[in-house]
Structure 1
Amino acid sequence: MADKVTFWFDTTCPFCWITSRWIKEVEKVRDIEVQWVPMSLSVLNDGRDLPADYLERMKSAWGPARVFAAVATDHADKLGDLYTAMGTRIHNDGRGATDGSYNEIIAEALEEVGLDAPLLEVADSTKWDDALRAFHQTAMDEVGDEVGTPVVKLGDTAFFGPVLTRIPRGEEAGELFDASFKLASYPHFFEIKRSRTESPEFN
C-alpha cells in the first residue's frame, strides 16, 4: 500500500521548492501517493508588520497562489504539473516577478500544462481569495500558525518542513523519506530545528 503524502506549497518559496523536488525524487524510488495543496505566504503574512521589501514580495505572491486555488478546485489533476512548470521557471531559471507580477510566468506555465489561458485573469482578482484562505487553513489546522512553507503530512502527521538546501536524489531521497516517515509515526515527536548556514541550490 502506498504511503500517503500531503504537500502544501507556495510556488514562490525556494525552500518549499527544494522539498517538493525531494518528494518528486522519492516518487521514483518509493511507493507513495502525493496530494498537492496550495497554501500562501501572502495569506500567512497578511496584516503582519514586516520589512517593506518583503511586503512587496508578498504582494507579488498573491497572483500565483490565487491561480493555484482555482486550479486545485477545478483541475486538481493538473496541480502538481502546474507547480513544476511554474516553480522551474521561478527557481531553476531564476525568473522573479516582473513589475511586481508573476503573470508572464503564470501564462507560460498554464500553456505548458494545457490549462486555459483565462485562468491568468484569476491572478489579479480577489474572486478565489476565500478558496485560497480555506486551502491555506487546512495546513494551519494540521500544524498551527507559527510556520512557513512547506507543510508536509507524512501518513497521519504533518510538520512544517523538512527544510532542505539541496535536493536528495535517487536512493538517498528514499532513505531520507523512510527516516522522516518513521519519525512522523512516533506520536510524541514535534520538531527538530537549527539555524541555516547556507543558501538553497536547485541543481
Structure 2
Amino acid sequence: MSALTVLLLRHAEKPGGDYPGVGRTFEGKRDDKSLIVRGWQRAGAWAALLGSGLSADYPLPTIIYAARPEPVTAEASFSHRPWETALPLARRLYLDVNTRWGVGQEQALVEELTKLTGTVAIFWEHKAIPTQIIPALLGSQSIPGVPAKWDSDRFDVVLRFDRATPDAPWSYRQLSPRLLDGDSDKPFAELRTL
C-alpha cells in the first residue's frame, strides 16, 4: 500500500498570548522559545489523541517531524515549541522526532515526506504551514477551503491531507477535536483557496 496521510499541526501555546505564563522547557527551566503551561497541556492532549489509535480521523503516526529547535541559518527564525509539542506523542509511540529540517527548509521537508507511506505528523511554525508546506505539498492541485493563512490565535486545529497513491490527488479536511477548554470547532476565519 502506498497511501500517505499528512497531519499538519501548529506548535502549542507560547508566551504572550491569551494564556498567562512564561515559556518553560520540559525540565522546567525558563525559556522564551518554549511552551507555556497551557502549551504543555496541549502537547499532552495531542499525544493522548494522536497516540491512541482510537479514531479513524486521527490515525497513529508512523513518523513525526518537527521544525528544528535551533536556527538552520544565521538569519533563520526558530523556537523549541514545535519539537516540544511533538515530544509527548513521540515518547508515547516510542518514535524519534525527526528535526532534520527547520523553518525555511519546508520544500526539502515536503520532498522527503512525499516519498513516504503511512501517517506523518508535522509540528511546525504556523505562518509557514499555509504559505510554504501546503503549497509544496499540493503543487498545482487546487483544493477549495484550504487555508492560505493560519489564524494566529488557533492552536487547536489539525489540517489533514490524504492520497491513495503517489500519483493520486490529495484530499483535505480541517479537524478540530476540542481537546482543551476554550478550543473551537469553527473553521479558520479566513479561508482562501490556494
TM-score (norm 2): 0.31
Structure with more contact order per residue of length (Cα contacts < 8 Å, sep ≥ 6) = 1
More strand by share: 2
- Asked which structure has the greater CA Rg, the reply is 1
TM value normalised by structure 1: 0.30
Counting helix residues as a fraction of each chain, which structure ranks higher? 1
